[in-house]
Amino acid sequence: MLIYITGGSRSGKSRYAVDLARRLSRRVVFVATCLPTTDGELRRRIKWHRQDRPKYWKTLENQIDLAGLYSKVDRRTEVLLIDCLTLYVSGRLMQGEGESRICARVKKLCQAAASSPRTTLIVSNEVGCGLVPMTDMGRTFRDYAGRANQIVARYANQVYLMVSGIPVLLKGNKNER
């Protein structure tokens, strides 16, 4: 089961994903995709997100091979929560990867999730509703992230759009699990 949770910045995506994962199982692995940073504000956000998660969850940091997680996690793991796809895409872009490579990685992740007995939650920012970025790099990121989001949405059993903290089911059956 693949559940995709998207929405704008500060829409409640991560909180909803954490709450949903808590309801689904105690055997959760949280996958952080953020690259280590010296940015103080981002470090504070990471600390806040860590404090919001149950202490008994295992946390893995992975910025490269998300599909490979399925062979590395404990077989008792029932839920993988990947937060977030947009940070993953930006990290790959900053490492010089092009759109086709990034999209291939995301497709491989979705295929691994689809063939796994575990439930996978993927969180990502909806990047298509905002302003057009002023820089070439900004537009490139928006385009890559938008295409990656489309891939995940296509594979997902359920897709939620978060609007002001409210999950709106766009695809799938809410009672399916």
Q: Reply yes or no on whether 143 is catalytic.
A: no
Give the C-alpha separation, 136 to 159, whole Å. 30
Give the C-alpha separation, 80 to 3, whole Å. 10
Nearest-CA neighbor of 87 among 59, 67, 106? Answer: 106
Catalytic residue among 1, 16, 21, 49: 49
Residues with catalytic roles: 49
